[in-house]
Amino acid sequence: MRWLVLVLVLVSPLAAQREQELDAIARTASVMVDGDVCQRIVTPRAMEFMLRNPSPDRWADADNYDVNDAAFLATKKTLMRLALLADYPVDVNLWMPIRPDIVHVVIRNRHEMSQFWPWGKLFQPAPAAMLDVLKTGRRRTVKEKPGFISVLAPVRNSLDEIVGLVEVVTKAPPDLRENVK
C-alpha cells in the first residue's frame, strides 16, 4: 500500500508537468504551423477519392492519397521539430476539417500516437473536443483515452481563419508499436 501511495505522489506532479509541456508545444505550434501551406497539402484528386471513392476496393481512397510534396514535407518537418521540444515520446499530428463535422488526419507522425485516430481511417466524425477548438480557437487538453494526454491547438492561415488543428500527444508509458499492424 505504501508503494501505491508513493507512486501516486510521484506520478501526479509528472502528469501535471507533462500537461504543461504539451500545452507549451501546442502554443508554439499555433504560431509555427502555416495554415496557408496546410491548405495546399491534400491534392484535389486525393480529396475526391476520400469523399467519393468510386472503386469497389475499400482501400482505394488511401491508395490514391496524393499530396503536394513541398507543402507536405515543410509541414511534416515543422511538426517533427515541435515534437522534439519534449524529452519523451511526443507526436504532433495535423488534423483538418473536410466538412464542419468531419475531420481528416493529414499528417501523423513518428510514433503514430493519437487519442482520436482509428487505425486505417483517413477521415472521421469530428470529436467534440476538436469541434470546440475549431470553433473557439482556444487550446484544449484532452485525457479521454486511458494513458493519453493530448493538447489540441488551432492552425490559422494568413487571414486569421482557423483551417485546422494540431494534436500534441503523449502516452504514459508509450507503446511505440501500438498502431503497427
> What domains sit in the chain, N to C, each tagged with a CATH number?
2-171 (3.30.450)
Look up residue 115 and give its DSSP letter.
S
Task: Specify the DSSP element, H or E, that contains 125.
Answer: strand 123-125
* pLDDT digit string, tens, across residues 29-82: 999 999 999 999 998 888 877 777 666 766 655 556 789 999 999 999 999 999
* pLDDT digit string, tens, across residues 100-137: 899 999 999 888 899 998 877 788 999 999 999 999 99
List % helix, strand, coil for the chain (3-state, nearest 5): 40, 25, 40
Percentage, residues of the chain above pLDDT 90: 64
Sign of CA dihedral 52, 54, 59, 65: negative
Residue 80, Cβ density class (10 Å: 0-12 exposed, 13-18 middle, ≥19 buried): middle
pLDDT higher for 15 or 86?
86
Sign of CA dihedral 43, 120, 162, 168: negative
Q: What is the pTM of this model?
A: 0.85
Sheet hosting strand 140-142, strand order edge to edge: 123-125, 102-107, 91-99, 162-171, 148-156, 140-142
pLDDT score at 142? 97
Amino acid at 18: R
pLDDT score at 22? 97
Helices (H), the chain: 2-32, 35-38, 44-51, 60-63, 69-83, 128-136
Please say if the pLDDT value at position 6 is more than 60.
no
**CB-CB neighbours of 22 under 10 Å:** 24
